[in-house]
A and B are shown apart, each in its own frame.
Chain A
Amino acid sequence: AQRVTQPEKLLSVFKGAPVELKCNYSYSGSPELFWYVQYSRQRLQLLLRHISRESIKGFTADLNKGETSFHLKKPFAQEEDSAMYYCALSYTGGGNKLTFGTGTQLKVEL
């Protein structure tokens, strides 16, 4: 069965510091990986997906199949990045269902 692990419940960084939110997955096939973000009192929204290889709001994530990881990175954290970040996985034949990790709360301090 597929699984997504986000080992950190809370990550606190100072403004301007680099950010790395960890995500590891287990799935034997070829998954599609996503990062969703939830700002305070707002809905879940897609931040990025691995197949599009985009950089959104300065965030990037590279799928590392060898390490089964999809860590989210940003070189310089901004105060507005404070939010809950969820890593999620879907796979072909899975009805497009998303399997989520438990989420990491990112707090950017001044």
Chain B
Amino acid sequence: EPEVTQTPSHQVTQMGQEVILRCVPISNHLYFYWYRQILGQKVEFLVSFYNNEISEKSEIFDDQFSVERPDGSNFTLKIRSTKLEDSAMYFCASSYLQETQYFGPGTRLLVL
């Protein structure tokens, strides 16, 4: 059964550095999403992406964040200048239409 994959599984970075989190959605899916979960808190929506543009974003998704689908398979989340409070588990998800979302295993980001 096809699955969403994410790399790396863990990332440690220094405050102020740029990070790129990578996701490979399920191949025939059309909608892509990023969520994050700060330790001990709920899963929060960051952004959704369809037809090569952002369809919705949350207030968390400020100018420090960007998403890209650079080719036919990858979907990336870039954090331009990381802050301590960006430390979280980041989940990628995809869906064929606006229905069931399939989640990746997550990338644990630690900002020191």
Q: Which residues of A approach B to under 8 Å, CB–CB?
A: 36, 42-46, 49, 86, 88, 94-103
Once A95-B48, A95-B55 are accepted as A-B contacts, the answer to whether A45 and B42 lie under 8 Å apart by CB is no
The segment from B18-26, B77-85, B96-104 that touches chain A is B96-104
Please name 14 pairs of A and B residues whose Cβ atoms are closer than 8 Å in the assembled complex, sorted by A.
Answer: A43-B4, A43-B91, A44-B43, A45-B102, A46-B100, A86-B43, A97-B48, A98-B33, A98-B43, A100-B42, A100-B44, A102-B42, A103-B42, A103-B43
- Size category of the B interface is 20 to 34
Q: Inter-chain contact count A-B, CB under 8 Å?
A: 52
Q: Which residues of B approach A to under 8 Å, CB–CB?
A: 3-4, 31, 33, 35, 41-45, 48, 55-56, 58, 91, 95, 98-106
Q: Which residues of A are found within 8 Å of B48, using beta-carbon distances?
A: 95-97
B35 touches A98 (CB 8 A): yes
Q: Which residues of B are found within 8 Å of A94, using beta-carbon distances?
A: 56
